[in-house]
Amino acid sequence: MTDFLASAYPWLKTLHILSFTAWMAGLFYLPRLFVYHVETARDRPERAELFQIMERRLLKAIMTPAMLSTWIFGLLLIGTGAVDWSAAWPWVKAAAVLGMTWFHFWCSGQREVLAAGDVDRTGRYYRLMNEVPTLLLIVIVVSVVARPF
- Is the predicted pLDDT of residue 122 greater than 90, yes or no? yes
> What is the rounded CA–CA span in Å between residue 64 and residue 66?
5
Q: Per-residue confidence at 1, pLDDT binned at 50, 70, 90?
A: low
Query: Could you report the per-residue pLDDT of 64-89, keeping only the tens digit for each?
Result: 999 999 999 999 999 998 899 999 99
Q: What is the mean pLDDT of residues 91-114?
A: 97
Higher pLDDT, 110 or 3: 110
| 131-140 burial code (b ≥16 CB/10 A, e <16) | ebbeebbebb
Q: Per-residue confidence at 106, pLDDT binned at 50, 70, 90?
A: very high
> What is the rounded CA–CA span in Å between residue 10 and residue 7?
8
pLDDT for 118: 81
- pTM, two decimals, is 0.91
Q: Name which of 54-63, 66-75, 118-127 the model is least confident about.
A: 118-127
Domain spans in the chain, listed from the N-terminal domain onward: 2-146
- Is the predicted pLDDT of residue 9 greater than 90, yes or no? yes
> What is the rounded CA–CA span in Å between residue 92 and residue 21?
19
